[in-house]
Amino acid sequence: MKTDIQLNVNGKEHTVQSAPDTPLLYVLRNQLELNGPKFGCGLQQCGACMVLLDGKSTTSCQLPVRTAAKYKITTLEGLVDENGRLHKIQEAFVKEQAAQCGYCLNGIIIASVALLNESPSPTDDEIKEKLNLNICRCGVHSRVVRAVKASIE
């Protein structure tokens, strides 16, 4: 049964009509029309669907929307400021051209932002460890590490 659910997404309050056990991913993509979080596996194994919940990176493919309603949700789109300026990590990914197909980029950027929230100047190994859940099939890993490092310099 659908109910009204209040969500705080990218600094704005939204009321969505949804079954409370619907995973957050589908609500974000299909009701709020956000493209950042992607469906990759639906199994919390690949990180493509990551969002920030109160600043912590979390997969959204199995997270019931009623649970997500307790947190401030930030998606890739929400990292861009009101003037359209990119977050320093987004900027670094553009500058380092750290993408090929780009499907994994959402989760990788979200996890990297979460990492900098926890630890402002991580080592290469800490960056790689933080991105352990994020599958990238094109093999841009070494560029990603360069981009995250560039963003803190």
Q: Considering only residues 8, 14, 66, 103, which one is a binding residue for another protein as defined by CB under 8 A? A: 103
Q: How far is the CB of 70 from another protein (least distance, A)?
A: 20
CB atoms within 10 A of CB 20: 13
Q: How far is the CB of 121 from another protein (least distance, A)?
A: 18
| 98 near another protein, judged by CB under 8 A | yes
Is the CB of 56 or the CB of 137 nearer to another protein?
A: 137
CA distance 105 to 153: 21
| 50 near another protein, judged by CB under 8 A | no
CA distance 28 to 81: 19
Cα separations (Å) of 114 from 8, 50, 79, 96, 129? 18, 11, 11, 20, 13
| Part in contact with another protein (CB under 8 A); list of ranges 52-60, 66-74, 100-108, 115-123 | 100-108
CA distance 101 to 45: 19
Q: How far is the CB of 15 from another protein (least distance, A)?
A: 17
| 63 near another protein, judged by CB under 8 A | no
CA distance 40 to 128: 20
Q: Considering only residues 14, 66, 88, 135, which one is a binding residue for another protein as defined by CB under 8 A? A: 135
Task: Kindly list the residues in this chain that would bind another protein in the complex (CB under 8 A).
Answer: 2, 19, 22-23, 26, 29-30, 33-36, 38-43, 45-46, 48, 75-77, 80, 86, 90, 93-94, 97-106, 109, 125, 127-129, 131-145
